[in-house]
Amino acid sequence: MPRKTTQRGPYAKTPRTREAILESAFEVFSRGGYLSSSMTEIAKGAGMTLPGVTNHFPTKAVLLEAVLRQRDIDANVHLEGRIGADMLKGLIAVAARDESDREITRLFAILAAEATTDDHPAHAYFRERYELILNAVGKAFKEAEELGQLKPGVDAVGAAQGYIALSDGAQLQRLYGVGVRNQRELVNGYLENLLVKPLFD
């Protein structure tokens, strides 16, 4: 999500106003996660009053979900309309996107850890998100198998779960600045070990 540093002027019910709120929420959640952040802090960052923010996003939980959905929309751009190995190739583009923005990667790492408790406002979101990714990637592996693109004996569901574990782990390593391989290289190597042909010639 793009962040701006310019002073924001008077606001109204416009997409630009909502974007200003989302940008501020992103910055606040990235610094301290959801639990220790406040709507007042977010309003201040957006150059607005608290009632002005709650007029667009009535609760912090609603605002959190809106911030999280922004990233999902962007990921869909890389994956929409792809099948089989081509869809798996799109995961490399997603990995490159993750590497290009350390702050949003850190935000998701913080929130995903916080949300493991059942009463966290983002718990259902992250559970649904992992299920959707697991199903989508598993489907891509099954399509690759049907198209003769997958090596014999590969379990599509297990391969999808392995991809998620690798991707999340690679993101954490990057945040800590350890490891010699980046996320894109690790994901690419993992996928190519399961496919008949390389993803990139």
Residue 119 belongs to some domain of the structure: yes
Please report the pLDDT score of residue 1 as a whole number. 45
Residues with Cβ within 8 Å of 130's Cβ and at least 6 positions away in sequence, in order, are 164
Residue 150 belongs to some domain of the structure: yes
Burial class for 150, CB neighbours closer than 10 Å (0-12, 13-18, 19+): buried
The answer to whether residues 100 and 47 belong to one domain is no
Q: Are 145 and 139 in contact, with CB atoms under 8 Å apart?
A: no
What is the distance between the alpha carbons of residues 184 and 187, in angstroms, rounded to a whole number? 5
Q: Which domain holds residue 73?
A: 67-192
Residues with Cβ within 8 Å of 181's Cβ and at least 6 positions away in sequence, in order, are 170, 189
The answer to whether residues 31 and 94 belong to one domain is no
Give the tens place of pLDDT for each residue, 115-164: 999 999 999 999 999 999 999 999 999 999 999 999 999 999 999 999 99
Rounded average pLDDT over 21-38: 90
Domain count of the fold of the chain: 2
If you average pLDDT over every residue of the chain, what do you get?
88
The answer to whether residues 50 and 73 belong to one domain is no
Instruction: Please compute, for residue 131, the number of CA atoms within 13 A of its CA located in the half-sphere on the CB side.
Output: 6
- The CATH number for 95's domain is 1.10.357
Q: Are 63 and 45 in contact, with CB atoms under 8 Å apart?
A: no
Q: Name the pLDDT band for 78 (thresholds 50, 70, 90).
A: confident
Q: Return the sign of the alpha-carbon dihedral for residues 90, 96, 100, 103.
A: positive
The answer to whether residues 39 and 104 belong to one domain is no
Give the tens place of pLDDT for each residue, 170-183: 999 999 999 888 99
The answer to whether residues 21 and 52 belong to one domain is yes
Whole-prediction pTM value?
A: 0.79
Query: In this model, does residue 92 exceed pLDDT 70?
Result: yes
Residue 198 belongs to some domain of the structure: no
Q: Name the pLDDT band for 11 (thresholds 50, 70, 90).
A: very low
The answer to whether residues 76 and 146 belong to one domain is yes
Residue 118 belongs to some domain of the structure: yes
Please report the pLDDT score of residue 13 as a whole number. 57
